[in-house]
């Protein structure tokens, strides 16, 4: 333990943020780093607990808290405190293939379980992690690690999101020859097209793809498995196939007027925005400019739509959330180390408050009807307020009679989550799905012996950190299948 009293001497200090009214002028990342002295102090706050809940990762009270990757957090915090940055990088990358991704977009399950957070402020684990990996890149410590020996086995990975990249990275370093198939124009999956550039700069994704390519991973883009290449071809050409194709079937709105022009899924809106930002298109294929925007969904994707809409110059933005407003602080029924079920005002909502003077969120509300003009374009929506009610032994949100209101709306974005992998992928390989639309597996094995699955297509919509966790675990099963044993971590 580097600084035994660090948690008493140093206050928690996050990476600063560019002010909302300034950062909305572009799609650039807006969190400058602390200087090295300040970062070392933040690492010195780590208590090196006897039982480090931050890295243990477990289900507390029905929600996961702590790192699913079991990152060696106290170890690399101690190395930072002692100025051993390269050793910190070594410990960090032992368990996490892509700290530059999780350091930017992970909601920090580790910090929720930090012992410092029991009676005060948790350690800035997420920011410390990002500082370590970025220092590694800046100093040339992150270089291609090309396997000295190849196994002669070939693996196809379908999808290049966090789970697909993790599978490919692990198996490539084991010595297998890995080809990743991606239907989009750029690898990265949701990290490329589902997360806005201001949260995760696409240069960061490209940097990792370039590194993996130099290490021997082959990426085939614009190749839709099940359409451009058949499942049978993959099974004939490769010794194993791993499906990491995500949970990409969006949950829809089943309301009158749904077919109106101007109603889009959030993922399509965000994808169109990214394609413009990276120069793939000249204009935004779907734009919020000058429009009254309503977003259905109060989660991270909904917040990303708020931030993107503001950057595109929307006239107003409203975010509808079916559930009630969370408390500002933990309640007695939600103690540490459970995940804190408290109000979170994210960057998009902060920007909406700065631009429009109010929080964009309306709680316990949903869309009842979409109304159009004579051209079939959306012109407004009818919303209705909801209240919790016990029905058949379970709590449901039901309409409050007479609570309907009308909101102006030129662009309606549906950010209500996803309900499983797209059916054509499962059908192409003849694989069953469960009642949630996910591929059925046993320890990442599908019923077909050569086919494996990992990530959101197997567990359902989740976090980047869970995608990496799934990919690493699946890679070990694939390695054992190919070699008869596995020495992978």
Q: Which residue, among 108, 101, 109, has the nearest Cα to 126 in the 3D structure?
A: 108
Query: 374, 398, 414: which is the final residue of a domain?
Result: 414
Mean pLDDT, residues 34-47: 96
- pLDDT tens digit sequence for 402-422: 999 999 999 999 999 999 999
Claim to verify: residue 323 and residue 370 sit in the same structural domain: yes
pLDDT value of position 140 = 98
Claim to verify: residue 345 and residue 397 sit in the same structural domain: yes
pLDDT value of position 392 = 84
Contacts of 278 (CB under 8 A, 6+ apart): 186, 197, 202
Claim to verify: residue 423 and residue 410 sit in the same structural domain: no
Claim to verify: residue 443 and residue 404 sit in the same structural domain: no
Q: Which residue, among 263, 261, 317, 315, has the nearest Cα to 289 in the 3D structure?
A: 315
Average pLDDT, the chain: 96
Is the pLDDT at 1 greater than 70, yes or no?
Answer: no
Q: Report residue 4's pLDDT band, with 50, 70 and 90 as the boundaries.
A: confident
pLDDT value of position 230 = 96
Cα dist from 44 to 54, 209, 354, 434, whole Å: 15, 33, 34, 46
Query: 414, 437, 462: which is the final residue of a domain?
Result: 414
Helix (H), strand (E), coil (C) string for 211-230? HHHHCCCEEECCCCECCCEC
pLDDT value of position 489 = 82
| Local structure of 428: helix, strand or coil | helix
- pLDDT tens digit sequence for 137-165: 999 999 999 999 999 999 999 999 999 99
Claim to verify: residue 407 and residue 279 sit in the same structural domain: yes
Claim to verify: residue 229 and residue 285 sit in the same structural domain: no
Distance CA 339, CA 336 (A): 7
Query: 77, 106, 138: which is the final residue of a domain?
Result: 138
Claim to verify: residue 369 and residue 466 sit in the same structural domain: no
Claim to verify: residue 355 and residue 282 sit in the same structural domain: yes
Distance CA 425, CA 431 (A): 9
Claim to verify: residue 315 and residue 216 sit in the same structural domain: no
Q: Is residue 300 part of a domain?
A: yes
Claim to verify: residue 395 and residue 290 sit in the same structural domain: yes
Q: Is residue 144 part of a domain?
A: no
Torsion over CA: 166, 170, 171, 175 (sign): positive
Claim to verify: residue 179 and residue 233 sit in the same structural domain: yes
Strand partners, 332: none
pLDDT value of position 2 = 66
Torsion over CA: 453, 459, 462, 464 (sign): negative
User: HSE on the CB side for 280, CA within 13 Å?
Assistant: 14
Q: Is residue 294 part of a domain?
A: yes
Query: Residue 435 sits in a domain of what CATH number?
Result: 3.50.50.60
Q: Is residue 254 part of a domain?
A: no
Is the pLDDT at 50 greater than 80, yes or no?
Answer: yes
Number of domains making up the chain: 3
Q: What are phi and psi of 269, to 5 degrees?
A: -65, -45
Q: Which residue, among 162, 160, 157, 165, has the nearest Cα to 185 in the 3D structure?
A: 160
Distance CA 485, CA 489 (A): 12
Q: Is residue 304 part of a domain?
A: yes
Cα dist from 82 to 46, 50, 324, whole Å: 12, 20, 45
Distance CA 154, CA 179 (A): 8
Claim to verify: residue 273 and residue 405 sit in the same structural domain: yes
pLDDT value of position 402 = 96
Distance CA 348, CA 30 (A): 12
Q: Is residue 258 part of a domain?
A: no
Q: Is the peptide bond before 374 cis (omega within 30 degrees of 0)?
A: no
Structural domain including 291 reads 263-414
Is the pLDDT at 475 greater than 70, yes or no?
Answer: yes
Query: Residue 79 sits in a domain of what CATH number?
Result: 1.10.1060.10
């Amino acid at each position: 333990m580097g600084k035994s009293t660090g948690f008493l001497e140093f206050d928690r200090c996050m990476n600063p943020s560019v002010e909302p009214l300034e950062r909305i002028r572009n799609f650039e990342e807006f969190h400058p780093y602390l200087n090295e002295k300040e970062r070392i102090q933040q690492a010195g706050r780590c208590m090196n607990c006897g039982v480090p809940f931050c890295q243990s990762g477990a289900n507390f009270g029905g929600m996961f808290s702590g790192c699913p990757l079991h990152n060696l957090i106290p170890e690399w915090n101690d190395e930072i405190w002692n100025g051993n940055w390269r050793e910190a990088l070594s410990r960090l990358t032992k368990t996490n293939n892509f700290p530059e991704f999780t350091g930017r977009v992970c909601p920090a399950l580790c910090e929720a379980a930090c012992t410092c957070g029991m009676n005060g402020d948790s350690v800035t684990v997420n920011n410390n992690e990002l500082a370590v990996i970025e220092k590694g890149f800046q100093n040339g410590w992150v270089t291609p690690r090309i396997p000295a020996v190849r196994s002669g086995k070939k693996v196809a990975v379908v999808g290049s999101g966090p789970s697909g990249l993790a599978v490919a990275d692990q198996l490539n370093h084991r010595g297998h020859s890995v080809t990743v198939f991606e239907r989009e124009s750029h690898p990265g999956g949701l990290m490329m097209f589902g997360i806005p550039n201001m949260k995760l700069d696409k240069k960061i994704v490209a940097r990792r793809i370039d590194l993996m390519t130099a290490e021997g991973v082959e990426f085939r883009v614009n190749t839709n498995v099940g359409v451009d290449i058949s499942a049978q071809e993959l099974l004939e050409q490769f010794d194993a196939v791993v499906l990491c194709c995500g949970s990409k079937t969006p949950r829809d709105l089943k309301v009158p007027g749904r077919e109106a022009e101007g109603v889009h899924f959030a993922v399509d809106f965000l994808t169109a925005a990214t394609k413009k930002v990276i120069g793939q298109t000249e204009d935004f294929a779907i734009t919020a400019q000058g429009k009254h925007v309503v977003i259905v969904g109060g989660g991270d994707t909904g917040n990303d739509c708020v931030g993107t809409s503001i950057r595109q110059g929307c006239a107003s933005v409203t975010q509808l959330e079916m559930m009630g407003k969370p408390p500002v602080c933990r309640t007695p029924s939600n103690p540490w180390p459970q995940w804190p079920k408290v109000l979170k005002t994210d960057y998009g909502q902060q920007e909406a408050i700065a631009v429009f003077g109010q929080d964009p969120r309306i709680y316990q509300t949903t869309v009842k009807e979409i109304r159009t003009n004579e051209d079939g374009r959306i012109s407004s929506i009818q919303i209705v307020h909801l209240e919790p009610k016990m029905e058949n032994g379970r709590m449901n949100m039901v309409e409050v009679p007479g609570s309907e209101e009308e909101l102006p709306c030129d662009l309606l974005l549906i950010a209500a989550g996803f309900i499983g992998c797209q059916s054509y992928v499962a059908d192409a390989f003849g694989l069953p799905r469960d009642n949630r639309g996910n591929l059925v597996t046993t320890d990442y094995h599908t019923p077909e012996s050569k086919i494996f699955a990992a990530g959101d297509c197997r567990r359902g919509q989740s976090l980047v950190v869970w995608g990496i966790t799934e990919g690493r675990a699946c890679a070990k099963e694939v390695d054992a299948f190919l070699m008869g044993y596995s020495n992978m971590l």
